[in-house]
Structure 1
Amino acid sequence: MKAPKNRRVFVVGYGAATPLGTTFEKTWERAVKGDTGFQKVSRCKVNSLSNVVGEIPGWNPESLDFVDRKEAYNWNADFVILTMAVCREALGRAGLIIDRHTGPKTACLIGSALNGTDAFRIAMNNYIKKGPFKISPYLLPNLCANIPSGKAGMMLGFTGPVFSPQGACASGNHAIGIGSRMIRDGDCDFALAGGVDTCIMPEIIHGFANMNATIKIVEGDRAFIDPGQASRPFSIDRKGMVLSEGCGVLVLAAQEMIKPYGLVPRAEVAGIGWTSDAHHFTLPNPDTIKLAINQAVDDAQIQPGDIGYVSAHGTSTPKGDATEIDCLRFIFGRHIEHMPVSSNKSQIGHTLGASAAIEAMLGIEAMYKGLVLPTMNHIPDPGLSDIDVVPNKVRRHNYEFFLSNAFGFGGTNCCVIFKGV
């Protein structure tokens, strides 16, 4: 094999659809205002106390100019069309035109935790009520993890490698890491990297509730009156995550490609660390989380004290949040007392495979503009009193590096360090 080119990799654009908005611009506008995107579930009926979720507002595939009724009917796994729309937004925001020169050198890596589960649900309903001949011939493609990337390529014209990094809730960071390595080594010049999940359906909502992962909202809880307060990472009364849908895609580019194509770098991918727990399918392993963070710091060739902010995984679970903070204390020592640590999940909930990608771009945009986004809905926890979680309000803050953490079911960890430009 050829020797790697050892090229530097930059983020030059991004697109998103989240509970705060159908585009990155709308998401960012509401994020800096301190809005949250939670409500009682409207996409389906559930019989659960975990009935507050994050839905993409106004999401309707048929409202998109490239989708007609037949296309929406055939591709009924929402993660397919959603990925196509967000990839198009990301390329547009980056200003990267796909043509005969850039197309073959552009990869697309979109991870997902649950893939086309919604399409399978529709097929099973048709099978039970109407019989086997009413199962769509598009069912199997709708279930394939690589199809969102492939369909985006069919629409947008890139012909580089397309596949889906499957890292559960760390998938977005895995996509960024793999895409960056591919560009660094010379396999491609550009990469669309991110994650997507469209998970608001009864079986998934009840499944998370039954494993005590999501918050159960009873009378007397502050989210009973105001669903917007359901996700509260690092708070004394955190009780579980809020399940959300979403998609986030970052455009990565080799440094040598930025000037020739008139691109504007927003941040550099400075360091990547990835480990697995070999411990438990949901409970975190502090030792391997620490190792992943240390790997990212070492890969960036910096010291822990150079990190100016941490975008925490911060799911709003009692044990998960406490474990992550303990790991940060171990890595950063006394520096943590002067380093903001906040969780975007307080505003958008847990978008599963999309979460790390969305959180990366929010962190990059904030760093680019000299800000840190807050941890909303915060009520102090005495056990975390040494941590500056940026409570309830965006803050001015200048820094050169930030760490973005992501951990997933199955014990998969991926941490990425971004450097400002």
Structure 2
Amino acid sequence: GETGPRTACLIGSAINGADAFRVAMLNFQEKGPLKISPFLLPNLCANLPSGKAGMLLGFTGPIFSPQGACASGNHAIGIGARMIRDGDCDFVLAGGVDTPILPEIIHGFTNMNATIKVMKGDRAYADPSQASRPFSHDRRGFVLSEGAGVIVLAAEEMLSRHGLRARAEVMGVGWTSDAYHFTKPNPQTIIRGIREAIDDAGLAPEDIEYINAHGTSTPKGDLAEIDCLREVFGKELENIPLSSNKSQIGHTLGAAAAIEDALTIEGMQRGIILPTINHRPDPLFADIDCVPNEARTRRHEMALSNAFGFGGTNCCIVFRGTSG
């Protein structure tokens, strides 16, 4: 249609094509090389999440897939917002997708002590829904999940032209890289990324009314994120509710940030802050309001969304909820 040439598609992924590769390997082992699908290599291309969506929807603007591990969704949204600002396009379909629920990936995460190992005596042994518990004293790793999330970005002048209503505005983006360790976060660059997002939005830390935390439910990762937030917000952090959607939906890897951004935006629309469920207080976070166990009714307009990924890639976004 008329918008196709001015529409971009940016859908990132952390582990794109792993399911297609597994099917190909099983076919190779059980049936021989001639049974490997000719579509295997196209399905392994890193740009295919965006490419397939673009072909289906008729987008002929810029199409590529940002690869930012678990921050891919925020990278896609941040890049898309800049492309609109710079006049490269009028619309962007931006987000992330991952389908990592495969034996090899599950065991890989388990063997690197990233995901929770539910042993007898753990509260998740009897109730698996309690396995993901960010900021709790007994957090033991994340719960692997899968899914997809996309957000439609539009230039302001396109709203009235096409009868659209904005639900939020991308106010600021901060992106940094750790140059430090494959999985261990570098506090200084995370702190800088959070500050850059707030500065880019033209705000001060005290203007933020809600924080959608990366909050994966790992012992060290949750503590590192909170320590970075303490450095940025100081004592004011005690007054800012923060929560982790991963307590409810697990860790969807490359899809996580986009899904959580959508939930953050919907929360601003409805005046609701989603909780961190399965919470049992950790003395290390006695000063933190992690919205424990129950959703909260609260009008809020400015939200910070954090996303950090393996390889030391960080992307933080400030959203402003809108009513028009």
TM-score category, normalised to shorter length: over 0.9
Residue of structure 2 equivalent to 1:309: 210
Q: What is the SS of the residue equivalent to 1:259?
A: helix
Aligned structure 1 segments of 4 or more residues deviating by more than 6 angstroms: none
Pair 1:336 & 2:237 matched: yes
TM-superposition CA deviations, 1:163-214 (whole Å, max 9, x none): 1000000000000000001000000000000000000010000000000000
CA distance in 2, matches of 1:252, 1:211: 37
Mapping of residues 169-318 of structure 1, within 5 Å: 169-318=70-219
Residue of structure 1 equivalent to 2:254: 353
- After TM superposition, give the deviation of residue 396 of structure 1 in Å: 1.0
Mapping of residues 395-414 of structure 1, within 5 Å: 395-414=296-315
Unaligned runs of 5+ in 2: none
CA distance in 1, matches of 2:13, 2:48: 11
CA distance in 1, matches of 2:50, 2:203: 34
Q: Does the Cα contact within 8 Å between 2:12 and 2:50 map onto a contact in 1? A: no
Residue of structure 2 equivalent to 1:88: none
Residue of structure 2 equivalent to 1:137: 38
**Superposition TM-score, scaled by structure 1 size:** 0.76
Q: What is the SS of the residue equivalent to 2:137?
A: coil
Q: What is the SS of the residue equivalent to 1:209?
A: helix
TM-superposition CA deviations, 1:352-403 (whole Å, max 9, x none): 0000000000000001111110000000001101000000011011222100
CA distance in 2, matches of 1:334, 1:396: 23
Pair 1:363 & 2:267 matched: no
Q: What is the SS of the residue equivalent to 2:76?
A: helix
CA distance in 2, matches of 1:369, 1:266: 11
**Aligned amino acid, residue 196 of structure 2:** Q
CA distance in 1, matches of 2:314, 2:6: 28
Deviation larger for 153-162 or 217-226:
153-162
- Percent sequence identity over aligned pairs: 71
- After TM superposition, give the deviation of residue 148 of structure 1 in Å: 2.3
Pair 1:118 & 2:12 matched: no
CA distance in 2, matches of 1:151, 1:324: 35
**Aligned amino acid, residue 312 of structure 1:** A
Q: What is the SS of the residue equivalent to 2:188?
A: helix
CA distance in 2, matches of 1:154, 1:383: 49
Pair 1:151 & 2:68 matched: no
- After TM superposition, give the deviation of residue 126 of structure 1 in Å: 1.1
**Aligned amino acid, residue 281 of structure 1:** F
Q: What is the SS of the residue equivalent to 1:207?
A: helix
CA distance in 2, matches of 1:371, 1:127: 50
CA distance in 2, matches of 1:150, 1:326: 39
CA distance in 2, matches of 1:115, 1:215: 23
**Aligned amino acid, residue 318 of structure 2:** I
CA distance in 1, matches of 2:141, 2:55: 39
CA distance in 2, matches of 1:389, 1:123: 44
Q: What is the SS of the residue equivalent to 2:238?
A: helix
Q: What is the SS of the residue equivalent to 2:209?
A: strand
- After TM superposition, give the deviation of residue 221 of structure 1 in Å: 0.6
**Aligned amino acid, residue 410 of structure 1:** G
**Aligned amino acid, residue 302 of structure 2:** F
- Report how many residues are paired: 322
Residue of structure 2 equivalent to 1:33: none
Pair 1:319 & 2:238 matched: no
- After TM superposition, give the deviation of residue 259 of structure 1 in Å: 0.7
TM-superposition CA deviations, 1:257-301 (whole Å, max 9, x none): 111101111000000000000110000010000000010011001
- After TM superposition, give the deviation of residue 127 of structure 1 in Å: 1.1
RMSD: 0.7
**Aligned amino acid, residue 219 of structure 1:** K
TM-superposition CA deviations, 1:241-272 (whole Å, max 9, x none): 00001100000001111111011110000000
CA distance in 1, matches of 2:321, 2:263: 13
**Aligned amino acid, residue 311 of structure 1:** N
**Superposition TM-score, scaled by structure 2 size:** 0.98
**Aligned amino acid, residue 394 of structure 1:** A
Unaligned runs of 5+ in 1: 1-98
CA distance in 1, matches of 2:82, 2:246: 27
